[in-house]
Structure 1
Amino acid sequence: MANDAVAGNALRVAPAQPGATDDPVRGVLAAFTKDLIKGVDETLAAFLAAEVDSLTEIDAAMGGFAATARDCVLAGGKRVRPTFAYWGWRGVVGGDEPLPTVLPALAALELLHTFALVHDDVMDASDTRRGQPTAHRAAAARHVAAGHAGDPDRFGEAVAVLIGDLCMVWADRLLSHATVPPSRLLDVRRCYDQMRVETVAGQYLDVLGENDAANWSVDRALRVARYKTASYTVQRPLLFGACLAGADAHAPLTAAYTRYGLAVGEAFQLCDDLLGVYGDPATTGKPAGDDLRTGKPTALLMLARQLATPAQRRALERAGTVTGAREVARLADVVADTGAVARVERMISDRVTEALTALDTASIDETARTALTGLATAATKRRA
C-alpha cells in the first residue's frame, strides 16, 4: 500500500475523467482566454527581447544573464495571475473594450510571479521547477562547467537573487506601458504595491514557519496561504484588473472579488499542499513528497498532527528527516490515515462554494461570471 500512496492520492486530488484534459486549469483557460494567453506571451516576448538587447550592450556576459532571466519568464506556466486580472477587468468593462490597452499590465504580473518563484526556489533550496533545474541550480552548473573559481552553489544563489530582482524591475517597467487614464494610475499602483507587500509578508511567514515548525499552527499555515498565495494569485490580480477598469473601491463588485479571491486563493494553496505530498512528479515538475522531506508546516501537515493518535504523531515527527521514496510514501500514508487529507479536501470544497456564492452578490459581465466560476473549480482540481 505504501508504494501506491502517492499515485493513489494524486488521483484523489485531481481525478482523471475519460477524454478530459490532464490539466483542468489549462482546459478552462483554453476555452475562455486563448487570445489573452497568446497576447500575454507575445507581449512578454517582445518586451524581453528589447530588454535583453539593451543589457547585452553593457557586456556580453550581461546579455547571457538577461537571457537566462528571460527564459525563466517564458519557460511555461499557466499565466494564472494575468488571467484572473483579465477577468477582473472584463467583469467591469464587458466585452467591448480593446484588450491591447491593458495587456502590458496583465503581462507584468507574470514578471512579478517569476520574481517570487526564483527567490522562493532559493529559500527552499529546490532542485527543480516545471521539470527543469531551478535558476540557482542551473547557474551553479554553468559555474562548474566554465571552470570558474569560488563556490558554485553560492554563485548560483547570487545569480538567482539578481534574476528575481531584475524581474521585479521589469514588472514595474512593463506596467508603465499600459494605456490607463491618468486618473486611475494611483489606484492601480496602490493595488499593485499592496499585492507586492502581501507577497513578501506571506513569503516571510513561510520561511519563519519552516524554522519554527514546533510553534506553528493550522491558523498560521492558513495565514501563509492567505498572503503568500491567495493575495497575489487570485484576490489582488482580480482587484488589479478591476482598478484597471476604473471600478470603485467600495462597489459591490469589488467586495465580491475580494471574497471570491480570498476563497479561491486559499483553496488553490490547499490544493498545492496536497500536491506537495501526493502529486505526480511527472506533472508537478517536483519530487513526490517534497513537503514531507522538508517538514514544511503546511495546513495539511498541521492538521495531520492535530488529528493524529500518539503513534501517528510520533511518525509525523519524522517529517523533515525522511529521504528515501519508500519512507516518504509511508509517511504520506500516515498523513492520510489521520483524516487530514479528507479534512483539507472539505476545506477546499467549502472555499469553492464561498467563492461561487460571492459571485452571486454582484452585477458582473456574464461571460466573466462563467469564466470565474469555471476557474474556481478548475484551480482546485488540478495535477500541477
Structure 2
Amino acid sequence: MTTNMTTPGYVRPVRQDILAEVERELRDFLAAERKRWTAVDARAGTLLDAVTDLIEAGGKRIRPAFCVTGYLAAGGDPDRAERVVAAAAAMELLHACALIHDDVMDEADRRRGAPTVHVRHARRHQENGWRGEAHRFGESVAILAGDLALIYSDRFMARAAGDAALWAELRAELIVGQFMDVQAAADPTADEQLCRWIAVTKSGRYTIERPLVMGAGLAGRTDLTAAFGRYGAAVGEAFQLRDDLIDAFGAGPDATGKPAGLDFEQHKMTLLMTLAVRHDPRIRDLQAGGADAARLRALLVETGTRAEIEAHIGRLTDQGCRALDDAPLDPAWRAELAAMARQVAFRDR
C-alpha cells in the first residue's frame, strides 16, 4: 500500500480495513473454539454462544478503533498490521468480559438490544424445568462466559506481543475501578474526587488512553505515551460523563440497546450525581431513598447540573485535543483524533 499518509482522506479507510480484519479474526476464532468444544459435548457450545452473540450484536468498537488509530497515527505499517489486529481483538474481548459481568452486578436485563447473558440463561433454565435456582444458573453462565472472554483476550494479546505490563495495568485498573463503583453504590458517601477517579479508571483509561498507547507501542513509538495519556485522560472522563448522561436521560433500550436509569435504580453515586449534590444536597437523600427516576432527572435539569456537565464535557474534549498540539503526529491523524474525541464525547448512545 503506497497511499500518501498525509492525505486527510486516507486515514479512515485504512483504519476501517484493519478493523474489518479485527472482526474477521474474532468471528473465525470464536467459530473455531465453538467447533473445538462442541466436539467434546454439544452443550459446551452454549458458553461459546454467550460470548459470540454479544460480540456479533455489534457495539461501538471504541477500544479497537483507538488501538488501531494509535498504531497508525504512530506510523505503523498498515500492510503489517497482524499484531495490532490481535491487540484490538483483545481489547474487544476484554470489553465483552466487562459487559457480561457488569450486567450481573447491575441486574441489567438488556444489552445491545437483546436479553443479557444471565437473564437469557435464567429463562432457559426455567423453560427446561431444570433443578436448582434459575437466577443462580443464569448468573453462573454469565460469570463463566465473562471469564472465558477474559482468557481469550489474553490469548490475542499474547499473539500481539504487546506491552505486558501495560496490559496487566489496564486489566487491574478496570477491575479495581469496577469494585470501587460497586462500593460507591453501596456507600453513597463517595466524594467527587473519588467518583472522578472511578470514572477515569474503570472506563476512560481502558476505553481510550490505554488502547491508544498500546497501539502506538506496537508501532515502536513510546515517545507518544505522555501526549496520548493527557489526551486519553481528558477524553476518557468526557466519555464517562456522557455515559452518565445517557443513562440518566437516554431514550431507553429501543435507542441505546440497554435500559435507561440503571444508575438511579442502583443508587450509584456517579460523577454526575456528585456534581448534582453540590448544587442541591437534597439529591443525595432522594437518590439513596429510592426516588423515582423522573424526579431525579427533573432535579438534574432544575439545578443546572445537566447544563454544567455538558459544558464540562466540552472543556474536557478541547483539553484532550490541545494535548496533541505539540505531539509528533501527522496532521491528518491529529485531526482524526480530534474528530474521534468529539464523537465519543457527544454521542447519543
TM-score calculated relative to the size of structure 1? 0.84
1:368 aligns with 2:333: yes
Within a 5 Å distance, the mapping from 1:166-177 to structure 2 comes to 166-177=148-159
Partner deviation per Cα, 1:259-309 (whole Å, 9 max, x = no partner): 00111111000000111100111222222322222221111111111111x
Distance (whole Å) between structure 2 residues aligned to residue 365 and residue 293 of structure 1: 46
Residue 26 of structure 1 is matched in structure 2 by: none
Residue 241 of structure 1 is matched in structure 2 by: 215
Residue 197 of structure 2 is matched in structure 1 by: 223
Contact 2:108/2:262, CA 8 A, preserved across alignment:
no
Contact 2:200/2:237, CA 8 A, preserved across alignment:
yes
Residue 276 of structure 1 is matched in structure 2 by: 247
Distance (whole Å) between structure 1 residues aligned to residue 102 and residue 78 of structure 2: 39
Contact 2:19/2:85, CA 8 A, preserved across alignment:
no
Matching residue within 54, 59, 62 for 1:72: 54
Distance (whole Å) between structure 2 residues aligned to residue 368 and residue 350 of structure 1: 21
Contact 2:71/2:218, CA 8 A, preserved across alignment:
yes
Distance (whole Å) between structure 2 residues aligned to residue 241 and residue 341 of structure 1: 34
Distance (whole Å) between structure 2 residues aligned to residue 229 and residue 96 of structure 1: 28
- Secondary structure of 1:177's aligned partner: helix
Residue 178 of structure 2 is matched in structure 1 by: 203
Contact 1:84/1:237, CA 8 A, preserved across alignment:
yes
1:297 aligns with 2:244: no
Partner deviation per Cα, 1:182-213 (whole Å, 9 max, x = no partner): xxx4x611111111111111101101100111
Partner deviation per Cα, 1:211-248 (whole Å, 9 max, x = no partner): 111x1111111111110011100010011111111223
1:354 aligns with 2:319: yes
- Secondary structure of 2:176's aligned partner: helix
- Secondary structure of 1:93's aligned partner: coil
Q: 1:96 to 1:80 in 2, by over 3 A?
A: closer
Residue 339 of structure 1 is matched in structure 2 by: 304
Matching residue within 118, 141, 144 for 1:162: 144
1:142 aligns with 2:124: yes
Q: Which amino acid aligns with 2:256?
A: T
- Secondary structure of 1:53's aligned partner: helix
Residue 8 of structure 2 is matched in structure 1 by: none
Contact 1:335/1:341, CA 8 A, preserved across alignment:
yes
Matching residue within 204, 217, 236 for 1:265: 236
Residue 84 of structure 2 is matched in structure 1 by: 102
Contact 2:249/2:260, CA 8 A, preserved across alignment:
yes
Ranges in structure 1 where 5+ consecutive residues have no aligned partner: 1-28, 179-184
Contact 1:57/1:63, CA 8 A, preserved across alignment:
no
- Secondary structure of 2:165's aligned partner: helix
Distance (whole Å) between structure 1 residues aligned to residue 12 and residue 333 of structure 2: 14
Contact 1:294/1:321, CA 8 A, preserved across alignment:
no
Distance (whole Å) between structure 1 residues aligned to residue 48 and residue 77 of structure 2: 37
Question: What is the aligned-residue RMSD (CA, Å)?
Answer: 1.8
Query: Which stretch of the first structure deviates more once superposed, 344-353 or 90-99?
Result: 90-99
* Displacement of 1:317: 2.1
Query: Which stretch of the first structure deviates more once superposed, 138-147 or 94-103?
Result: 94-103
Q: Which amino acid aligns with 1:177?
A: R
Contact 2:94/2:149, CA 8 A, preserved across alignment:
yes
* Displacement of 1:321: 5.0
- Secondary structure of 2:124's aligned partner: helix
- Secondary structure of 1:359's aligned partner: coil
Contact 1:280/1:383, CA 8 A, preserved across alignment:
no
Contact 1:289/1:332, CA 8 A, preserved across alignment:
no
Q: Which amino acid aligns with 1:154?
A: R
* Displacement of 1:338: 1.2
Higher relative contact order at CA 8 Å, sep ≥6: structure 1 or structure 2? 1
Distance (whole Å) between structure 2 residues aligned to residue 136 and residue 194 of structure 1: 28
Contact 2:70/2:216, CA 8 A, preserved across alignment:
yes
Partner deviation per Cα, 1:59-112 (whole Å, 9 max, x = no partner): 111122212222122221111001101111111125654333421221111000
- Secondary structure of 1:318's aligned partner: helix
Residue 5 of structure 2 is matched in structure 1 by: none
- Secondary structure of 1:102's aligned partner: helix
Contact 1:89/1:242, CA 8 A, preserved across alignment:
yes
Distance (whole Å) between structure 2 residues aligned to residue 161 and residue 55 of structure 1: 18
Q: 1:320 to 1:128 in 2, by over 3 A?
A: farther
Distance (whole Å) between structure 1 residues aligned to residue 268 and residue 283 of structure 2: 15
Q: Which amino acid aligns with 1:303?
A: L
Q: What is the number of residues matched between the two proteins?
A: 338
